[in-house]
């Protein structure tokens, strides 16, 4: 039952927002009593925390699978972007923004976990790119992986990139291209251009 509650809550929180969804909403959607939810989660904050970190672990597992099977680090980054977008329902309700506003402690813990994961996986991806001569050999891997995280979190700032002006798909796509064009070799640029052309047609 606990897993079912988490699964349904992920769906509702991502579609309607952490603030909008009440324990009553979850109970009604599942056709169970609110008491049943409270058996597993003492309050909504605990449920939000569990849902947030469960979703994070799911996304991390998916990213690991993509990294193990990708053809090259350029396509890998685009595959990760698609995977994350699907899991976050294209961030219709700005879940990160709501989490930051209403559950700041959970948000900060998540942000640290995200940084640790992204710093490690982007670092490995950059090294793979250098080794396969797709990325310039003189890049500072530690610096660029930190900049990448900063940029990816920065585009989610609604005060800088208002949702009514920019959709998340466009922002992530544009940022990825911006990031890659800064570090690719001529060989990498050929692959990047081919990939963009193929996916736009």
CATH of the domain at 173: 1.10.357.10
Residue 153 half-sphere exposure, CB side, CA atoms within 13 Å?
Answer: 17
- In-domain check, residue 22: no
Beta strands in the chain (DSSP E): none
Domain limits at 128? 44-200
Residue 22 half-sphere exposure, CB side, CA atoms within 13 Å?
Answer: 5
For the segment 103-150, what is each residue's pLDDT rounded down to a tens digit?
999 999 999 999 999 999 999 999 999 999 999 999 999 999 999 999
Domain count, the chain: 1
pTM: 0.85
- In-domain check, residue 157: yes
- In-domain check, residue 193: yes
For the segment 150-176, what is each residue's pLDDT rounded down to a tens digit?
999 899 888 899 888 998 889 999 999
- In-domain check, residue 169: yes
Model confidence at 31: pLDDT above 80: yes
């Amino acid at each position: 039952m606990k897993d079912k509650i988490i699964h349904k809550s992920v769906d509702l929180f991502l579609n309607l927002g952490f603030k909008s969804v009440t324990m009553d909403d979850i109970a009604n959607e599942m056709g169970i009593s609110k008491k049943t939810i409270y058996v597993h989660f003492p309050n909504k904050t605990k449920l939000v925390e569990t849902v947030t970190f469960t979703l994070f672990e799911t996304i991390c597992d998916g990213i690991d699978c993509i990294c193990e099977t990708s053809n090259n680090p350029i396509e890998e980054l685009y595959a990760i972007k698609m995977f994350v977008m699907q899991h976050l329902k294209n961030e219709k309700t700005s879940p990160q923004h709501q989490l930051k506003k209403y559950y700041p402690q959970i948000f900060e813990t998540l942000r640290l976990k995200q940084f640790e994961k992204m710093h490690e996986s982007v670092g490995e991806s950059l090294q793979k790119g250098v080794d396969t001569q797709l990325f310039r050999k003189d890049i500072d891997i530690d610096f660029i992986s930190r900049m990448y995280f900063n940029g990816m979190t920065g585009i989610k700032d609604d005060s800088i990139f208002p949702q009514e002006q920019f959709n998340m798909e466009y922002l992530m796509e544009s940022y990825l291209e911006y990031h890659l064009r800064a570090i690719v070799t001529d060989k990498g640029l050929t692959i990047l251009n081919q990939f963009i052309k193929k996916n736009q047609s």
